[in-house]
Structure 1
Amino acid sequence: MYHTYNPPHIPGLHLLPMGKTELDDPLLSNLDETTRYYLDYYSRCVCKLFIMYDSTVNPLRNVIGAAFDSPLLLSSIIALSSRHRANSKLSYSQGRLVTSSTILTDTDHTALRFKHKTLRGLSDAVNDPQLRALDATVTSAFLLLFLDLLESGSGTWNIHLEGVKKLITQIETHTRPKGTVQQDFGTYLTSIREFVSRQVYVIENLGPTYANPELLSNTPIGPIPLRATKQPLQQKLEHSYLGCPEYILDALGAFSSSRDFLLSSRPRSEADLETRIHRIDDIQELSKLAESYKLGAQIYGRRILDALIAEETSQDHLVRRLISVIHELESDANLFKCILWPMVIAGLESREQVHRKFISGCLEKFWLETRCLNVVNTGTILRRVWQWEEREDSTPKLWIFRIGQLGGDWLLV
């Protein structure tokens, strides 16, 4: 059984107002108060958001030690922390109003400054053969994906994902020079490398659902083959971002691939898609979390198949069940923050006002848990889809093609 984990302070750090942080650890003696504050903020408030179960082996928290010797990783952590801190001052309704003309706070300026510093540092690192092969460089680039979620959920996430994939393929464990940061923090960075590889796999399968076709490349990631790494269930859960089972991710990847072919010149028969669908084994109810992704995948896959054979299948019973599962997961904060993707599926397919109102309420609760602006934008997207359906009296199946036209290529996870 997993319980809420309360991380200890980084030695010598206390999450107090700026200027009141106490310093005891020699590693922190050369850091300014802004850096000390946001390192502690990252440990306490950010790391737990992007892992299903927080614990002492959270790979996101374990890289803090490596950040002391990597200015790039340190700036990436501060950019992420300060953006979350800025978002935490906003209400759900205020989040919808954030635009380029919004008056910026000091925290906003800090977030932008360190984001710019991170992007500049990454630009330099990818042009240096040694730096681009460091795990700290890959980790810094990967954290930008979480920053994309906090900022909006649209814009550059696909570019950052492709960049991380390319960097991962260039890591050569056996050719690193001795005495580097890689050796000193080898255990932590090996852990984060495996975590990054797995989460890239998650995002590249979930991400295309709400984006335009062929947004991502089919470049495989390495050097750690995902299927060759079999770990105990407990360790997987403690290192899992969203908890979506791998076989469902495989199915979603196949669905999105089939959707892409629908808009290409290459023909694809119904039998081809059926083959992909039937690859999925019968899913046992290992948890309500797995069931929510299963239902979302079934609904999404049916919409793809409907488009291929020019039919429309009623999925009201699946939508009602998905709504019920989401309701059951509301009381578990650890699992609730993992189900934005199936929640959006439920919202896009809901025709009843009571269901739409329920999903809207869940999104507001989700915002309070995570402070990611992509959740706020999700609410805006769903309202536009609902208004569009009511105005045009259209069918739900069309959202698989038009979702990417609603203001961007959305990463709603």
Structure 2
Amino acid sequence: MAPGRKKKGKKVPSGPVADKPCHNCRRRRLRCDRLLPHCAKCEGKGADCLGYSQIFQWTGAVASRGRLAGQQSSAALYTPARSTTGHSRASLSSVSSISSNSPVSSSSASSVASPSVPSSSPAFIAPSLSQVDEVTETSEAESESGSELDIFNDQYVDQQDNGDDNDATPLASGDTQLVCTTNNSYPLTSETSTPWVLVDPLYQDITSNHRQYLAYFDARLSRDFVAYDMPDNPFRNLLKFTQAHPLLRQVIIAASATHMYNRSRPWLSSDSLDRGLGPRNLLMDALEAKHQVLRMLPSALQSIESTGGDIVLAAILFLINVELIESGKHNWKAHFDGADKIMKLLGPVSDVDESLRDYIVSDCFIYYILDSTFRPTASDSHSYFESCEALQVLGKTTNSYYCCPPELLEIMLIAARLSNTKPDEVVSADMVTAAGAALLDRARNFDVLPWAQEINLSNIPSTEQDPVLSRFRAATSHRLAICLYILHAIPSVRTWVGEDLADAIFAELHHVLCMIPDDDINLKATTWVTFVFGACARTPEMKDWVTVQIKKLMIESPWGFLYAARDALQMLWSVQAEGMPMTSWVQTLRDLHMDFLIV
């Protein structure tokens, strides 16, 4: 061997080494030096070493470049949920659930998306969220067992009526509520699992507790604001603004937590309209979020130009909804007056899309009309709603939750204004009667079928049976209820046409309401209709039927204003039972100054 020439030998790495090659070398089938913390071969080539531990990757992510550009990854969006026997929608519309992911093994990672929307939507929130689902025929005893459980450790799962709980109080068929069960029923596997999984970057700075409420809004609550939960539900698009606007995030959290709390409250008995207490942590989260909204609202109003008028208006609309979910009494009025003032300041559509603004303004207008029907005094002539055309606003939202033709809502508004008109030297009593009779003819002769057919059937979920018939029944019930309202809000019209016509319309409305199935998606739109029917009811049998109908509505939509409607009906019925003189139940209701809103 020539002098000065060294023998080439195998390089021995110095320092700690990994027990397996790095991910880069394994993919390229190269010999890895296994140095920690990074492979020297990767560093020498200027490549970013992926290391030796488990790789976490986005599920359902869309490639931005390469031959797979525009395609989603093949990783599963969510792991299969625990097998359960599905329950029918005999009494309720089915609810989307947010499936929790199974424990992640050391060789793979998966994440969960809400099944109600694709992963590419802005509502693709966190995995590891609690599963949310409806519960059929759940007992009071079962509900109370989990009422105080911490929401972080709870799962909302299907409970099937298996007949084992003989001591539990049975509920009405199709009764639903959220039930909290501990995780002890779902033992973890022996495999090592990670406590967290990746979330959408839009929500990564939001606590898991808040992500849970945002996910609930995405999967369940957003459906209450439209007739059919189509993929382009405009209210779901609000979620993408929650990161940049804490005010909007907190008010959505408050609405979701309050709605979850109402759904989790057990019925006191099968024939009762009252519920017990729900999980305390849900109520505390709702109150805390509501407090944060009220604290942030003044500064948002002062900087409305930078925040955006549409965002502030959406926040106030949901603040009204929070009050309606809680009770529907008193507090909503101040927020509604604020929404009226903000709508005067709205400029061109900026951040939010135009359809979202249309639905927000339309909901405010519907609330205004429904409030006008029982408002003790005439509305302010300087109101935004008095200065704009109802048909122009309401005609843009064919999928509105209220499922009522704009022409009928306009008739309702005119009738409410007419009922508050006091005869004087300019407007005589005969003029009011003639105008009311003309409104009654318009309502009776309005054809709802063309409106019922004005919907894109291709976007409606296939699970909905005959949407045109459903819309026709809901619109017909509104038409008949408005006729009854005109007859009782303007008593001189009822005297003019006679009691026989009022009785015939009442009987026809009862027939139409009986034809609407319990699982009809538009059942929730008949609350005001049912209230008007109940106020006109005279016999105990009809009043009992109305009570059952109100409970069906409570099951379908656990909003607190339904309890205010029930209380108002009971007060009207008690006035009737006492034999007190009552020219019009509408005027009697106004004299009570209950200040409630039925939406």
Pairwise mapping of residues 11-410 of structure 1 onto structure 2 (< 5 A)?
11-14=124-127, 15-16=129-130, 18=152, 22-91=197-266, 105-131=280-306, 133-173=308-348, 182-183=350-351, 186-187=352-353, 190-214=354-378, 219-221=383-385, 227-228=391-392, 236-238=397-399, 240-262=400-422, 267-275=427-435, 277-278=437-438, 280=442, 282-286=445-449, 287-307=472-492, 313-314=499-500, 315-392=502-579, 394-395=581-582, 397-406=583-592, 408-410=594-596
Q: Counterparts of 2:268 and 2:591 in 1: how far apart (Å)? A: 23
**Cα deviation code 1:98-134 (max 9, x no counterpart):** 89xx898221111111112112222222222514643
Taking a change above 3 Å as real, the CA distance of residues 361 and 5 of structure 1, as seen in their structure-2 partners, is closer
Q: Secondary structure at the match of 2:499?
A: coil
Structure 1 position 89, deviation (Å): 1.8
Query: Between Structure 1 and Structure 2, which shows a larger proportion of helix residues?
Result: 1
Percent identity among equivalent residues?
Answer: 19
| Cα distance, 1:197–1:136 mapped onto 2, change above 3 Å | same
In 2, Cα distance between equivalents of 1:317 and 1:410: 29
Cα deviation digits, residues 137-159 of structure 1 (max 9, x gap): 11001112221221111112232
Letter in 1 for 2:323: D
Q: Which amino acid aligns with 2:553?
A: F
- Conserved 8 A contact 2:226-2:401: yes
Q: How much does 1:345 deviate?
A: 0.5
Question: Partners in 1 of 2:587 and 2:504 — Cα distance?
Answer: 23
CA contact (8 A) 2:260 2:282 kept: yes
**Secondary structure in structure 2 of the residue aligned to 1:392:** coil
Partners of 1:266 and 1:150 lie apart in 2 by 43
- What is the aligned-residue RMSD (CA, Å)? 3.2
Normalised by the size of structure 1, how large is the TM-score? 0.84
Once the two structures are superposed, residues 345-368 of structure 1 have per-residue CA deviations (whole angstroms, 9 ceiling, x without a partner) of 000001122221111111111111
TM-score for both structures, normalised by structure 2: 0.60
Q: 1:255 to 1:241 in 2, by over 3 A?
A: same
| Aligned residues of 2:516 and 2:523 also touching (Cα < 8 A) | yes
Runs (5+) with no aligned partner, structure 1: 175-181
Q: Kindly provide the CA deviation profile for residues 146-176 of structure 1, in whole angstroms up to 9, marking residues without a partner as x.
A: 21221111112232222112112212228xx
In 1, distance between residues paired with 2:274 and 2:494?
41
Q: Tell me which moved more, 216-225 or 351-360.
A: 216-225
1 CA distance for matches of 2:587 and 2:447? 31
- What secondary structure, in the 3-state scheme, does the structure 1 residue paired with 2:597 have? coil
Distance in 2, Cα, partners of 1:72 & 1:346: 39
Q: Which amino acid aligns with 1:167?
A: I
Q: Distance in 2 between matches of 1:78 and 1:223?
A: 33
CA shift, 1:217, in A, is 5.4
Contact 2:214 2:253 in 1 (8 A): yes
Indicate the larger mover: 138-147 or 310-319: 310-319
In the alignment of these two chains, the number of paired residues is 393
Task: Supply the distance in 2 between the matched residues of 1:5 and 1:237 (Cα, whole angstroms).
Answer: 23
Gap runs ≥5 in structure 2: 1-92, 97-115, 131-150, 154-194, 450-471
Stretch of structure 1 that moved more, 244-253 or 122-131 = 122-131
Give the match's secondary structure for 1:41.
helix
Amino acid at match of 2:126: L
Question: Could you say if the C-alpha distance between residues 333 and 248 of structure 1 is closer, same or farther in structure 2, counting changes exceeding 3 Å?
Answer: same
